[in-house]
Structure 1
């Protein structure tokens, strides 16, 4: 883990894809996010692409056009790995191959590239594409890296002791369910399960009444580690392919009844949603910042601490949550922003998540996904979930059209967006991830 800026980060670079030069684009030539797509309505398989402006460069088509033949061997091998329906083969190659491909793509897509005429035929408009989950996810682990979220939620259940004593020592996580992870646009039915109503002595069965979103980033693992061989902290990010937006939907009432003693189960595994595009860590290099642990807090154990971490282990990524109700949709109103936060508030870093996950010998594999946990900031308006924004449902959120929400209602659509921006660097965006709540299915046995 060490920030290395190179020619691909030059903020003055322009692309021959005109839309990539717009000041508000998420996908300039300095980004080059990876995803999996196919043309909408076409009888064809999914394939790997790179976002450039409002277009997608089909990497399989680019490979067959011959533009990579004279590229260095690592770039050619990486391009060949992209002739696939998932990113797993590319992820498995490791950071030197990812970087070589990124450099080659940067040069191929810049203004003045001799290959423009050939590659023009390999472009597909993003608004005419459908997407798949970018990788085959073998395992999924969700962390709990925001101390602000942990404290705010803890206050609702344990007012006198909101933060459990291990939180400041251990990157807390649980193993989730990868089979129900879908891509942006996912629509899912309100989950059914057991809940314990206030004051009741026995549970009832039915649809969740306290359905929530969780504003997270997803961390896609690249090349893994052999079973029994931990990944050291300062090597951890060499094993991270990139980041995406991630909504880990949560049924708070199911969660409250089931989570002790072993943690979340049915309250979490009914649906989770990732954005189509994965932004590489190399693209985010200009947005590194110091990782800080308050002096009056316990400092990390040695395997979770280093000079490099302290210097550049945090990432300055602006996050936002938007909500569109059925009424808003019917009236042609866009989604309304209801909160903003930033990933630099995270109490535990990406490298610490990876190092801790493997310190006991656990082996990670290409395509594994780590969730960051809900990303909340120190202020109330920076809450990353409705349970915080509405103080457990006690203070309803009032929308601009007069509607209120304590938790999500049927046909609500939640949208997350993220970007990095600062003077002297190109704006790097993540696109968006959206998902919609459908009414619950008929109860079992009804």
Structure 2
């Protein structure tokens, strides 16, 4: 007696490229890819759209999980990738009917685990490129050569039907009752189909809303960046203008002082000339000669003193510059050694933790729980706020302002008496929806 393999539930993974299914594999093959046993050169250095599919013995879809997966330059999976596909499929919400009743669907807009939302994507439900129908048809084609149960419909020949006897014609009322029951069943079936269509349309609407929200966040970030650049340019111009005005005032003061000194010197010289004119020419000549000699002597002495001071200062400056260069070189060497020692020890510890299966998760306002890959850990430690701002799709400056508003949601306008308005406001929970001068101000001081 030969045993026959019985069909059972099968797990598979499908990859999408250019809005089409580019590759299919069974879940054990996908696990081999995750373990690094097999690489996929066709996905080198790409982030692929993939789908976890659970198939029943009749080649009908039961569960779907739409997720992202990253490949490096060698075609291997990113070692920090860790998404519990089976857990998400088991806890997923209800989706449309693909032939075997409502499926379990996990995607970006419908997931039971919020911190995995950023690693999921929404399927396209448009009539031209419906991803769900593509998956259903691909499973039906059975490219993976799965075992399945063959279903046969029973047909009856017309010779098998006989006319009831005349005495049984009175049971027509019972036939009408059965017909009404069949109509009710059809009505219920039509209602179920309508409910499934409505649910599918709601899922499509939520997907479109999520896409629109992402596009809106990108536009807001672009607008905020342009606005910030314009504001910085305006501040620079104002600063340059203030510096120029200050320089002009200083020059005017110097000119005024020089003019006063010149006028005083002129008056003094005129007084001396009048005095000299009163004396005899010989006395005036002698005084003039004496004055010139004294002036030349003083100038010579002053020039010698100044030259000696300048020479001393030049030697001191050269010596200090040499000492500063030596100290800077020593400081750079010490910093480099310290960074190499700290970086080597820290990276070794993090690599050991990553190989042990440890996942680095952090919680921050505005983004919630995030998984930090090992390659981003150094950037996260050095520039934590900038890293979190990128995760929120906003600039670091906007995230800083939003964080101040989030921690203390009051009107931040400064009044004339150097006091803050302080009127309580509704807290804005999304950094991308925060607008400086609008969200953090009351209706009285809001900047339009």
TM-score grouping bracket, smaller chain normalisation: under 0.3
Q: Which has the higher strand share?
A: 1
**Bigger Rg, which one:** 2
Q: Which has the higher helix share?
A: 2
TM-score (norm. length: structure 2): 0.24
TM-score (norm. length: structure 1): 0.24
